[in-house]
Structure 1
Amino acid sequence: MAVESCLLNWGIKRVFTVTVDNASSNDVAIAYLKKKIVGWGFSILNCKYLHMRCIAHIINLVVVDGLKETNVSVKRVREAVRYIRQSPARLQKFKSCCEMEGIESKSSLCLDVCTRWNSTYLMLNVAQKFENAFDRYATIDPCFKFDLQSSDGLPDSLDWENVRRLVDFLGHFYDLTLRISGSRYVTSNIFFNEISSVDCLLQEWQGSNDVELACMGERMKVKFDKYWGDPDKMNKIVYIAVVVDPRYKLEFMEFALSTVYGKEKGMELAKKIKLTVYELFDEYKKTYQAEHDRGSNVAGNTSENNESEGAKKKSRLNLGDQFLKHKIETGEANSKSDLDCYLNEGIKVVDEKEEFDILKWWQLNSGRFPILSIMVRDILAMPISTVASESAFSTGGRVLDPFRSSLTPKIVEALICAQDWLRKSHCCKSIEEQIADLERLEEAFSLCEINSINDNTVNRDT
C-alpha cells in the first residue's frame, strides 16, 4: 500500500522491475503490486518479470551458511586480537613488537562482529599480516599466553595457515559484494557473470582436498542452489541483460549456461532465453514504434520544409535512389528488426585492459537501434542490489537525529546530496577527511537554517 501510494503521488505508472530482499513478506507485496500496475495499463508483459531479488542479500546468506560452524583457528585469532585491543598499553607494546619484527603496515587490528562475516574477513585479513608480531608479543607478556590458554589457546602456525586460506576464501565474496553494492555505474549486465563465477567457485571448493573447505563449500552450495540453482526460478531479465551486452550476446549465453548447467540443459535454456528476448522486444516495439514513427515523420517534415530552392527543383532521382524508394515501398528495407540486426552483428572485442562503458556504447548506437535501445535502457538501469538505496536511508537517519529533528525536508535532502557529491569529488581522500568535510558542510547548512528561522521570526514580529 505504501509503495503504491508513493508511485501514484510521484506520477510513476510504468514500473519495469522492483528489487527487494528475500523476505517472504516481499513475495506477497510484489504480487499485490503486480495486480495494481497491470490495472494501470502501463505494464510490460503484464509485469511478468517484475520481481527481482537482491543479489547482495543472497550472497550474504550463502556466506553465513558456510561460516555457521566457526573454525577454531578463527576463535583463537579473535581472542588474541581482543586481548591486545583491551588497553592502550597493550597496543603500544604490540606496536613495538611490529617494529622489532620489521612489519610495516598502516593497518591496525580490528575486532569483528561475530554475526557479520565481512567484519570477520577484515579482522582476519589484517591479523594475518602480524603473525610474527603475535608470536613475539607472547614472549614479552606472560599474561597473554595464560589468558588465551584458558579459552582456545594461542594461534600457532597451523592456525595462521588456516586463516590465510579462509581470507582467500572470503575475499572473493567480499570483493563481489563491493562490486555489486556500488551506487555508480553498476549495470545489470554484470549480474549473471557474478552468479556464474560464484557457482564455479563453490563447485571447485566442494572438490577440495581440504576437508573443512570442502564442508564449507558444500553448505554454501546448498544455500546457493535454493535461490539460483534452478534457472527457471530466476528472473529471465538477468539473462537478457547479458544478451544486450555487445561483448557477449547469445553466443556467450549458450556457452555459459552449458558450462554451469550442463550442455543439454544449457542449450534448452538458451533457446528459452532467445524466445524471451524476442517476446520482450515485440512488447517494446508495440509500445514505442508509433512514437518513433511520429518522431521520424516530424523530423522528415521539418527537413523537407527547410530544403533549399535548388534542392526542390531536383525532381529526377538516380537509379540508386529509385531502388531504395522501391525497397521502402515494398517493405523489404525494414524486414529486419533492431534486435535481428543487433544479434547478427559480430560481438565487440574489447581489450582486457580497456574499461568498457556499455552505457556509452548504447548511447552512440541508439540511432541504429531506436526501439532496442529503449528496451536496453530499462534493462541496464534495473537495480541488482538494494544496498545503495538502504545506505541512502541509513544516511538520512544519521542526518535527521533526535537532536536535529527540526530540519526541513529540503535541508535534509541537500545534506544527503552534498554527502554524495563530496564522496565523488574527493574519492582520493580518507574517510576521516570526508567526514570532516561533511561535518563542516552540515554546520553551514544548519547555520543557514537557523538564520532563516530567525528571519521569519523577525518578519512575523514586525
Structure 2
Amino acid sequence: MGEENVEHIKDVIQKAKRKKTSSVWEHFKEVNLKSGTKTWECLHCHKNYAMISSGSTSHLIRHLGDCLVYKKLIASQKKLNLQPTKSMVDAKLSGPLLVNPNVQYDHARQREAIAHWIMMHEHLFSIVEEEGFIFMMKCCNISYEKISRKTVKNDCVTIYETEKKKLKSTLRDVSKICLTTDLWKSQNQKIEYMVLTGHFIDADWILQKRILSFVHVPPPRRGVDIVDAIFKCLKNWGIESKVFSVSMDNATYNDRCLKDLKVLLSRHVKLVLDGKLFHVRCCAHILNLLVQDGLGRIVTIIEKIRESVKFINYSEARLRTFSQVIQQLKLGGKKLVLDCLTRWNSTYDMLSIAIQFKEVFLRFQDREPSYTYIPEADEWEKVEKVAKLLDVFNVASNIISGSEYPTANLYLVEVEEYLNEPTHKPKDNGHMPFCALEWWKLNSGKYRVLSRMAADILAIPISIVASESTFSAGGRVIDSYRASLHPNTVEALICGGDWLRILHGIRNKPKVEHVPIVIPLLL
C-alpha cells in the first residue's frame, strides 16, 4: 500500500471520528506552530496549550476560568442592552418577564420566556433541542444554557399552574359566569375531549373569555359523564354557584345533558328565573342547519366545482394554463380555494371565487380535453343564487361568533331597524355604533341593580363557535402532536396558551380551513 493511500486512509479515519461535544471546543482551535507541533489556541487571549494524547481537556477548562479576556467578554454579554419598543407584547410584559436595560442575564427568566413562547404559539417541545434554535439563542447571549424538551415541558406545566391560581383569584370577584362547551376528538387517536369556556364581564366592563377546562372524557361518553365532567370542573374552579347560562349546540343529546346539569346546580344555588335562561342554543349551529339544507339542493353542482379545483391543482402545467386564460381575460388576481367538507363557510368561499372564473373554466376546457367537470350554464346560475344567499349567512355567522364584544344584545339592532320602518324614521348612518358595555360603564353608578343584571345578560354568548376559534387545530379535531401527549399536558398547553395570549395581547391565528390554490403568474 502506497504512502499516499496510507495518509488518505488516516484522513478518512480522522474525519469519521465522533464529533467533539464538549463546550470547551467553542473557545479553542487547533494550530500548527513553526516547530511543527500541534497545539490548542485560545480564541480569546490566543495562548497556546498542549494537545494531550488521552484527549483530556481539564487544562483547557482551567484556562477558561482564568482567562481575563474571556471573563471580560462574559461580563459585557451579560448586559442585555435591549431597546424598548411600543409593541403590544412589550406593553403587556410584566413581572418576572420584564426585561430592563443593563440587567444581568438570568437563565431562569429565559426559560420562562421560552415556555411562554411555546405555549402561546403552540410549538413542539423538541424545538428547544434544534441546533438552529440553540445557535440563535447563543447569538443573543453566549451564556445561554441548552435545555431539553423535558425541561421545557415541566416549565410549561408550572406556568399553567401559576396562571391557574391567578385566574382562580380573579373568578372569586365574579358574580355570574356564562359557559360554552363542546366536544373534540383527536386526529389519530379515538380520544375525546370536552372544552369548557367561561365568559364574564369584569369590573371595568370588559368582556372576558377564558378556557377553564380541556379534559379527556373516557368512553362510554354518556350524558351523565359529560355532566359529571362539567360539574367537576366547576367545583375545581369554585364557581358551581355562579353559573348563569350554558351554551351548547342543538343536538338532542345535549338537551338531556343540560337538563341534568340544571337540576344538579339548582341544589347549590337558585338559578335566575328558575333556570329559564340556563340553556342557550347555539345560533351558529342553527344557521349551519339552514345552510346545509340549502347546499343539499345543489350538492351535485358543488361537487363539480370541487373536482374542477382539484383537477386544476393536480399539476403545475394545468395551473399555468388556467393562469394564462385569466391573464388573457384580464381578470383579477384571485386564488382558487378548495373547501373543507365540514365547513360551509369554506364552501361559500370556494363557490364565490369560482363564479368569478366561470368563463375561465369554459376556455380552460378547450385547452384541456380531459377536463369534464365544468358546470352547465343553468348550473352556474343556481350557484350564483345560492352564493348570494350564503353571503348573508356568512356575515351573520361572523357577527354572532364574535368573542370580543357582547352577542346577546345583537337582536336590538334588528329591532331598531324594524321600528324605524313602521314609523318611517330615517336611519342615522352618521352616528357612532352603540356600545352597550361602554354605556353601562358610564351609567352603572346611576343604575346599580340594573347594571348587575345587564352584566350577567351581556356576558351570555349566543354561539359556541367563539370557543372553537381559540384553537388552531382546524375544525373540532386535536392535531397529531397534541394527541400524542398525556391528556393533562394537553389541558395545560391549551388552557395555558389561551391565558398567556390574553396576558400578552396576542390573537391566536386559526389555521386556514380551506386550501388555497395558488395560480402562478406568467412571466
Q: TM-score, normalised by structure 1?
A: 0.53
382-391 or 52-61: bigger deviation: 382-391
> For residue 189 of structure 1, what is the aligned residue in structure 2?
409
Match of 1:354 among 432, 450, 454: 432
* Greater fraction strand: 2
> For residue 129 of structure 1, what is the aligned residue in structure 2?
356
Secondary structure, in 3 states, of the residue corresponding to 1:361? helix
> For residue 374 of structure 1, what is the aligned residue in structure 2?
452
> For residue 415 of structure 1, what is the aligned residue in structure 2?
497
> For residue 164 of structure 1, what is the aligned residue in structure 2?
384
Indicate conservation of the 8 Å contact 1:85/1:109, yes or no.
no
Alignment of 1:62-141 (within 5 A): 62-70=290-298, 72-105=300-333, 107-141=334-368
Is 1:363 matched up with 2:441? yes
Q: Distance in 2 between matches of 1:33 and 1:400?
A: 33
> For residue 233 of structure 2, what is the aligned residue in structure 1?
6
Indicate conservation of the 8 Å contact 2:335/2:353, yes or no.
yes
Deviation at 1:182, TM superposition (A): 2.1
Q: Distance in 1 between matches of 2:489 and 2:389?
A: 45
> For residue 463 of structure 2, what is the aligned residue in structure 1?
385
* Greater fraction helix: 1
Deviation at 1:350, TM superposition (A): 6.4
Deviation at 1:79, TM superposition (A): 3.2
Equivalences, count: 277
Question: Percent identity over the alignment?
Answer: 35
Q: Distance in 2 between matches of 1:72 and 1:193?
A: 38
Is 1:401 matched up with 2:479? no
Q: Distance in 1 between matches of 2:363 and 2:503?
A: 46
Gaps of 5+ in 1: 149-153, 195-241, 243-247, 260-348, 433-462
Indicate conservation of the 8 Å contact 2:312/2:318, yes or no.
yes
Which residue identity is paired with 2:293? D
Greater relative contact order (Cα < 8 A, sep 6+): 2
Which residue identity is paired with 1:67? L
Deviation at 1:388, TM superposition (A): 1.6
Which residue identity is paired with 2:446? R
Indicate conservation of the 8 Å contact 1:20/1:52, yes or no.
yes
What CA deviation, in whole Å up to 9, does each residue of 1:423-453 have, x standing for no partner? 85699xx979xxxxxxxxxxxxxxxxxxxxx
Q: Distance in 2 between matches of 1:431 and 1:400?
A: 15
Which residue identity is paired with 1:48? K
Indicate conservation of the 8 Å contact 1:112/1:119, yes or no.
yes
Alignment of 1:144-293 (within 5 A): 144=371, 147-148=372-373, 154-191=374-411, 255=419
379-388 or 33-42: bigger deviation: 33-42
Q: Distance in 2 between matches of 1:368 and 1:400?
A: 52
Secondary structure, in 3 states, of the residue corresponding to 2:337? coil
Gaps of 5+ in 2: 1-227, 513-523
Indicate conservation of the 8 Å contact 1:78/1:111, yes or no.
yes
Change (3 A) 1:189 1:400: farther
Indicate conservation of the 8 Å contact 2:472/2:508, yes or no.
no
What CA deviation, in whole Å up to 9, does each residue of 1:67-110 have, x standing for no partner? 222255434433322321222221121111111111122x3112
Deviation at 1:409, TM superposition (A): 5.7
Change (3 A) 1:73 1:6: closer
Indicate conservation of the 8 Å contact 1:14/1:43, yes or no.
no
Q: Distance in 1 between matches of 2:444 and 2:244?
A: 20
Indicate conservation of the 8 Å contact 1:400/1:412, yes or no.
no
Change (3 A) 1:138 1:73: same
Change (3 A) 1:127 1:420: farther
Secondary structure, in 3 states, of the residue corresponding to 1:185? coil
Which residue identity is paired with 1:415? G
Q: Distance in 2 between matches of 1:392 and 1:399?
A: 18
What CA deviation, in whole Å up to 9, does each residue of 1:316-375 have, x standing for no partner? xxxxxxxxxxxxxxxxxxxxxxxxxxxxxxxxx965552221100011011111100000
Deviation at 1:2, TM superposition (A): 1.6
Indicate conservation of the 8 Å contact 1:400/1:407, yes or no.
no
Q: Distance in 2 between matches of 1:127 and 1:408?
A: 39
Deviation at 1:191, TM superposition (A): 4.3
Secondary structure, in 3 states, of the residue corresponding to 2:336? coil
Change (3 A) 1:71 1:425: closer
377-386 or 65-74: bigger deviation: 65-74
Provide the aligned C-alpha RMSD in A.
Answer: 3.5
Q: Distance in 2 between matches of 1:6 and 1:97?
A: 58
Secondary structure, in 3 states, of the residue corresponding to 1:143? coil
Q: Distance in 1 between matches of 2:443 and 2:242?
A: 24
Indicate conservation of the 8 Å contact 2:339/2:347, yes or no.
yes
Indicate conservation of the 8 Å contact 2:406/2:460, yes or no.
no
Secondary structure, in 3 states, of the residue corresponding to 2:339? coil
> For residue 142 of structure 1, what is the aligned residue in structure 2?
369
